[in-house]
Structure 1
Amino acid sequence: MFDIGFFELVLIGVVGLLVLGPERLPHAVRMGSAYLGKIRRAVSSVREEFEREVNMQEMQQRIKQQMADTGLDEARQSLQDLKKQVEAPTSAPNKAALGENSIGGGLPQASQDPHDDPDTRHNPTAPENEAEPLPEPAAETAPEKDTPKA
């Protein structure tokens, strides 16, 4: 990284021993190596994140290229156009009034019978399906008063 050889390291060690002394030099070396390790980890994490971003960009470009090559963009566009056509209201109001769809077939008209309930159209109420009325409560008789015995 910095291209420091063995003799340069020995020279730095001797100068550090003379400046810091034998008591503080081991602590300074530990602290220096700890800071150097933190710096290396930070640099490697930044490099890995950068490489990850570059790879993601490359993959996105490849996917776009493959979609263009296979015609998926055209298929997506045609599906979106079809969706717009389906969701768009019919242009002719007379077709909607007659119940005709865009293919040309007519829809069955709903009956205008006021007694026609859509909830019971497929399961009409029949006498056997109707609930039985509750029985009338029995008439209560007045309790007999006890006559006092004389």
Structure 2
Amino acid sequence: MFDIGFFELVLLGIVGLLVLGPERLPHAIRMGSAYMGKIRRAVMNVREEFEREVNMQEIQQRIKQQMDESGITEAHKSLQDLKSGVESQHILPPDPKPAAAKAETDPDTAHNPTRPENEAEPLPETTPPRPDKESPKA
């Protein structure tokens, strides 16, 4: 990142020792290295995100190119045109029988219509017997 050699590091250490003193120099070095680590991580995250975006755009371009070469886009467009044409020309008539009349003539329910006499009776409620509480022994 920075082109700093050994001589420059020694010079920075001597200047830091003179300016900050021996008590505050270790803390300043730790804080400086922590900030440098944060900056490096942020730069790496931005770089990775940029590379992901570029790769995603390249992949999208390749997919579009392959779709154009294989003719999928034309087939999809023609199917959409056909669908819109059928929907605009072929309107289904409304159902002449209401839903209740339809249920009575339905072959699945004609043999067993849903009437109150055909419904199952509810089960009686039973509670399990509770053991009697034992009286404390005196």
TM range (shorter): 0.5 to 0.7
Larger CA Rg, structure 1 vs 2: 1
Alignment of 1:1-150 (within 5 A): 1-90=1-90, 117-121=101-105, 123=107
Distance 1:121 1:24 in 2: 94
Query: Structure 1 residues 125 and 64, CA, compared in 2 at 3 Å: closer, same or farther?
Result: closer
Structure (1/2) with the larger helix percentage: 2
Query: Structure 1 residues 20 and 80, CA, compared in 2 at 3 Å: closer, same or farther?
Result: same
Tell me how far 1:28 sits from its aligned partner: 0.5
Tell me how far 1:122 sits from its aligned partner: 5.0
**Aligned-residue identity in percent:** 67
Tell me how far 1:59 sits from its aligned partner: 0.7
- Give per-residue Cα distances to partners, 1:80-105, cap 9 Å, x unaligned: 011012111359xxxx99xxxxxxxx
Counterpart for residue 141 of structure 1: none
Q: Which runs of 4+ in 1 moved over 2 A?
A: 117-126
- Give per-residue Cα distances to partners, 1:108-130, cap 9 Å, x unaligned: xx8xxxxxx4434454968xx78
Q: Provide the aligned C-alpha RMSD in A.
A: 3.0
Unaligned runs of 5+ in 2: 118-138
Between Structure 1 and Structure 2, how many residues are aligned?
109
Unaligned runs of 5+ in 1: 98-109, 111-116, 135-150
Residue type matched to 2:48 in 1? E
Distance 2:52 2:110 in 1: 68
Residue type matched to 2:6 in 1? F
